[in-house]
Structure 1
Amino acid sequence: MSIRFDQRVAIVTGAGNGLGRAHALGLAARGAKVVVNDLGGALDGSGSSARAAERVADEINAAGGEAFADASNVADAAAVEAMVSTTLSRYGRVDILVNNAGILRDKSFAKMELSDFRTVMDVHVMGAVHCTKAVWETMRTQNYGRILFTTSSSGLYGNFGQANYAAAKAALIGLMNTLHLEGAKYNIRLNALAPVAATRMTQELMPKEALGLLKPEAVTPGVLFLMSENAPSRVILAAGAGGFAVTHIIESEGLQLPGDPVTPEAIAAAFADISDAENGKALQGAFEQTAKFVTRALAAAPKS
């Protein structure tokens, strides 16, 4: 069955260039009305201009779609609320939110200023929080919502010189996991995308041969799937160069160690077995871990 977005309204942040632009164009091409949000600043978040968002909105409208531009800074909660209010006034609903806006301020942790750490967190984490919070009640009321958080392999696995960026991208996984639980009964589905694409953020980091393969448009089909009517929820989808994979966070089965208290030496002696992931499991909630440890402890306790 064809994936379409007719009568759906989408907000895409950071949509003036790169991945965001590709996502906005892809949604519009399949029928969505699109709010093209982009501050229009430099890669480090400095400066602003509405022109980047306007160009993409113009491109959508010229192709027969429907879009309008917004140059709000996602780190500004009031500006985001105004953007969503304008969207609701114009279209009456918001069905899709693609949290894509981001900046880079790369330095090794030793050389990084705290202000650079905080600013990156403000844009990536609080920017996604502001946008999601602004549409949350509307999606609950209409009993429909599709929300995407843009994570990164840096957040999942680490990358030298990106402590701020990696921390922000990892935080979005925790946000997705919890909002998945809170939004499920309202048909709000939340997913995360870990993209690899040739954008302003990656053009200095990869050889030209690789960049030629990593077109942003090759990632967007994954976004369209995750934003669709029959989308899954709580998926971390990795995408790049036409390849797709799903990242799972698993916990090893682990061991119940004897002793009261257990000694660190006992942990060291058993660590290979404790960390063996062969029977690992992707837990679906924090209390699954709690229940596992409590159940084992109760079973191992001396019977009175």
Structure 2
Amino acid sequence: MQALTFEGQVAIVTGAGGGLGREHALALAQRGAKVLVNDLGGSLDGLGGSVSAAQAVVNEIKALGGEAIANGASVTDFAGVQAMVQQAMDAWGRIDILVNNAGILRDKSFAKMEMDDFRLVVEVHLMGAANCCKAVWPHMQAQNYGRIVMTTSSSGLYGNFGQSNYGAAKMAQVGLMQTLSIEGAKHNIHVNALAPTAATRMTEGLMPEAVLAALKPAAVVPAMLVLAHASAPTRTILCAGAGGFEAAHITLTQGVYVGTGADAAEQLAEQLGAVLDRSNEKVPQSGSAQGQLEVGKAMAARSVTV
């Protein structure tokens, strides 16, 4: 079994002042990467800010013999993110890995949620990830290498009561991952997503103590290391928690052809079970697969009637 090492590589980890991000940063540093530790240092709901949280992790890394620098930029500030990336370039001359981990929570049922809280969560999770990807992208293109890890969530993939804002933002990161992995392929930029189940300050009070004890953030880290490594796949969603690992897929069923007649809606309603049948479903390689499947069914139906 070959060890996953990151010697000579440079990584940026956002939201790395505590919890899962801290574990990511420490693990990458322990395996040889130079790490820029980013953290706004704000509260769980995104208020306030201080570079002290990031600096504390940098101090941990240095105490272990690693190399790291701290950054306190908000991922929502594109100019600040660009300066963060330049900070890494000035220090080490390259950027190999970006782990988009920064996030906040403002949980509430949709009926009671203020739209400002919805917007801010989307801004941090989605636009924060997009800002960071945009800032590192030209450097990864120029060196013909990059590994980007998005942090999605089961709340986005499958839904969770009280997290419409968080779930929407987390699923949007999957959409960003899907397209960036396609666009990055020719430059050897692999883009993947990690769906962690971990006990962090985001989950305190939501789960029993025995469950929280099993869900140590460190148990998620192996999936991040696999997705950030030179041998990483691309367009992959890995789920991880408590030592268990799974893959999530967005699939397309074979469906049916009902045509475009006046009774198409009625025919669809009658055959909805067949449309939902997951036998022979597939994982499309791009969005065009849906159109190809639909047009193919239409052409096949036309050839039968001719």
* TM-score, normalising length: structure 1: 0.98
**Contact 2:258/2:264 (CA < 8 Å) preserved in 1?**
no
String of CA shifts for 1:32-82, please: whole Å, max 9, x gaps: 000000000000000111111000000001110000110100000000000
Secondary structure of the equivalent of 2:149? strand
Q: 1:239-294, CA deviations, whole angstroms, 9 ceiling, x for partnerless residues?
A: 00000000011111101125624422211111111110011111111111101111
Residues 113-192 of structure 1 mapped to structure 2, 5 A cutoff: 113-192=114-193
State the distance in 2 between where 1:249 and 1:105 align.
27
The equivalent of 1:270 in structure 2 is: 271
Tell me if 1:8 matches 2:28.
no
Structure 1 residues 259 and 88 mapped into 2: Cα distance closer, same or farther (>3 Å)?
closer
Q: Match for residue 98 of structure 2?
A: 97
State the 4+ residue runs in structure 1 displaced beyond 4 angstroms: none
Structure-2 residue corresponding to 1:58: 59
Please give the secondary structure, in 2, of the residue aligned with 1:282: coil
Partners of 2:259 and 2:57 lie apart in 1 by: 63
In the alignment, structure 2 segments of 5+ residues that lack a partner are: none
Partner AA of 1:128 in structure 2: A
Q: Following the alignment from structure 1 to structure 2, what is the Cα–Cα distance between the partners of residues 84 and 262?
A: 56
Structure 1 unaligned runs (5+)?
A: none
- The share of aligned pairs that are identical, in percent, is 57
Report Cα offsets for 1:195-240 as digits up to 9, x if no partner: 0001000011100000000000110011011111111001100000
What letter matches 2:235 in structure 1?
Answer: R
Change (3 A) 1:259 1:40: closer
Find the counterpart in structure 1 of residue 289 from structure 2: 288
Q: Which residue of 1 aligns with 2:41?
A: 40
**SS class of match (2:271):** helix
Alpha-carbon RMSD = 1.0
TM-score by length of 2: 0.98
Q: Deviations over 1:80-111 (max 9, x none)?
A: 00010111011000000000000000111111
1:170-189 deviation digits (Å, cap 9, x = unpaired): 10010000000000010000
CA contact (8 A) 2:259 2:298 kept: no
Measured after TM superposition, the shift of residue 114 of structure 1 is 0.8
Task: Supply the distance in 2 between the matched residues of 1:130 and 1:258 (Cα, whole angstroms).
Answer: 43
